[in-house]
Amino acid sequence: MTTLGVAAVDRALRILEAFRADDRGLTLAEIARRTGYYKSTILRLAESLEKFGFLKRSSDGLYQIGYKPLFLASLYQGQFRSSDHVLPVLRKLVDEWNESASFYVREGDRRICTFRVQGRRSVTDTVREGDTLDLHLGAAGRVLLAFGGERGTRYDQIRRELFAASFGERDPETAAYACPVFGQSGALVGCISLSGPRYRIETLAREAVVASLAENAAELTAAFGGDATVFGPLTANRG
């Protein structure tokens, strides 16, 4: 009985996930095509989803998302504290690489370190929460510029690859990798970075660092309401 109940919930949620941002409404046949479910199954579940406000049916017979997801979103936003999500991710990065991890946001032509977990080694790069740094120097700044619309070949590459690396750019003795974090509708929320002394960062395997950062950026992107699947190509080989 429990297994059947869980399966029904899974199918109902899959129906809701079939809707996309640009859909004005879906026919029963369209939902069936996107989910792979029989129309009879969809009709049965849609009745319950309508009853609880997750779906509604327009006068022309199209299914649309109801009011309840918006209500739940407002609850989530009211309870959401970025520190509850960002700091655990930064700690995971420090545990994995034993280097410092930071979260940056853009403020005008500067970047601000809003969260920081210091590496545990005796020699680290020195950045504190609240520090403001040059936006045009360093991996984190480059990421914030790229996804803020900055033009140029270098920024086109960052937008394609979803990460930036810098070696001795902000400081001759430091280096960093950074990945963007997105929110709703693909809006840039900020970026996470892994940084430390250049002589150590340069010895790390680029693909492994980027995959690790992308995996954690995907986790934060999902928490902020963004599309975490954009990081799929970077995390595909993550083992």
Amino acid at 8: A
Residue 200 has pLDDT above 50, yes or no: yes
Other beta carbons within 10 Å of 183? 16
Of residues 79 and 220, more confidently modeled: 220
Question: What is the per-residue pLDDT for 191?
Answer: 96
pLDDT tens figures, 150-171: 999 999 999 999 999 999 998 8
The SS3 call for residue 195 is strand
Question: Please, which pLDDT band fits residue 1 given cuts at 50, 70 and 90?
Answer: very low
pLDDT tens figures, 134-146: 999 999 999 999 9
Least confident of 67-81, 133-147, 176-190, 217-231: 67-81
CATH (residue range 2-77): 1.10.10.10
Other beta carbons within 10 Å of 54? 20
Q: Residue range 186-194: average pLDDT?
A: 94
Residue 116: which H helix or E strand, with range?
strand 110-117
Question: What is the per-residue pLDDT for 2?
Answer: 43
Nearest one of 70, 121, 76, 114 to 94, comparing CA atoms: 121
Q: Do the Cβ atoms of 196 and 99 come closer than 8 Å?
A: yes
Mean confidence (pLDDT) of the chain? 89
| Domain-wise residue ranges, the chain | 2-77, 80-235
80-235 folds as Beta-Lactamase (3.30.450)
Residue 237 has pLDDT above 90, yes or no: no
Residue 70 has pLDDT above 80, yes or no: no
Question: What is the per-residue pLDDT for 59?
Answer: 86
Q: Residue range 85-100: average pLDDT?
A: 94
